[in-house]
Structure 1
């Protein structure tokens, strides 16, 4: 099971997350308490191995700004958390992860033909478009609607529920942010435990 640790804002946490086995590191460039500057993201990415995905999170940002940030900091993937269309997704130069806030299978069906490889399945929107730390009902998801994409599961995951989530959704990757924090800060022990738990959970589609 692949693991993405999102909302990284300092070098040490990025390095340690990768050392523990993280396959992807997420950098938030949208409004969020975990927002990172271009300079800091560039610094962190400079310490990360080439094979680790460096994912930039954006919400309704212009294509020009996304491409500029991606080029400066060295992103490998773009995560779209706003109202971006499939056409907008196709206009970007890097692979796109399109986030959808799960509020029923009707909305999920609308993304069935979305023209990119990855769909991030998240909880309904709260104060921010992601990273709200709430769980949705995984059993409500119709698996037939997500077969055409690599699913990245997010939304309220932590070490104590990630095994159940993986068993139900059988995603390509799990994505965690607040679930590996203590008092709003990334907790290295929680990151290590989460990654170990996720990677020890057998999954097959």
Structure 2
């Protein structure tokens, strides 16, 4: 089970996540978010992380940003992947002419299974895109999520703390390899979410915070441990 700790704004929290075994770290480049980070701060954090031998996959989270600008930020900050959390067009994900082709995945906030299935057909990455070549990581081949499923909210772009529809996500996970689950996950409920959905990875931001943008080290460690051992425990009970 892979784990992404998202909404990081400082090096201490990032290092805590690395030490706890996080597989992905997320940096939000969307100023309206309470967890947004500026490029200079993110670059400083990433520089320190890249100097460690066990650096996770580093993800920039964007909302309706131009493809060229996202590619520029990935290179400038030395990030591996872009997460598209707005109303981005499928071209950016699936067309080889896209400036971030093979370096991104789409986050969806569906209101129904039918909507989720339709969007997944447009946005899910397959084949060579699922294993991407990173310009930044010492590990040249990285495993990218194919899609991220988050809780629907009419105005917010994630980080709501509201739990999503796990039954719907479970149906998607059966059809879509590489599905990352987000939305209202905490150290207390992530094991059950993994047992029900069986995703490729789980993503948390607000669920491991002391306050917006400031993580709680105890919650980070508990979340990662509970997520990574949940499938093993579930198999024993099946």
Aligned residue runs from structure 1 range 161-200, under 5 A: 161-184=189-212, 185-200=214-229
Return the TM-score normalized by structure 2. 0.80
**Aligned residues between the structures:** 204
Aligned residue runs from structure 1 range 117-128, under 5 A: 117=130, 118-128=146-156
Q: CA RMSD in A?
A: 1.8
Q: Specify the alignment match of 1:25 in structure 2.
A: 25
Q: Which runs of 4+ in 1 moved over 6 A?
A: none
**Is the 8 Å Cα contact of residues 62 and 82 (structure 2) preserved in structure 1?**
yes
**Is the 8 Å Cα contact of residues 102 and 136 (structure 1) preserved in structure 2?**
no
Return the TM-score normalized by structure 1. 0.92
Task: Call closer, same or farther: CA 1:144–1:119 in 2, change over 3 Å.
Answer: closer
Question: Equivalents in 1 of 2:215, 2:173: separation in Å?
Answer: 33
**Within the alignment, does 1:85 sit opposite 2:89 as a pair?**
yes
Q: Specify the alignment match of 1:104 in structure 2.
A: 112
Question: Equivalents in 2 of 1:120, 1:130: separation in Å?
Answer: 11
Query: Deviation at 1:115?
Result: 4.6
Residue segments in structure 1 that go unaligned for 5+ positions in a row: none
Q: Between Structure 1 and Structure 2, which shows a larger proportion of helix residues? A: 2
Question: Equivalents in 1 of 2:159, 2:172: separation in Å?
Answer: 26
Question: Equivalents in 1 of 2:15, 2:172: separation in Å?
Answer: 37
Residue segments in structure 2 that go unaligned for 5+ positions in a row: 131-145
Query: Deviation at 1:137?
Result: 2.2
**Within the alignment, does 1:11 sit opposite 2:11 as a pair?**
yes
Question: Equivalents in 2 of 1:144, 1:195: separation in Å?
Answer: 23
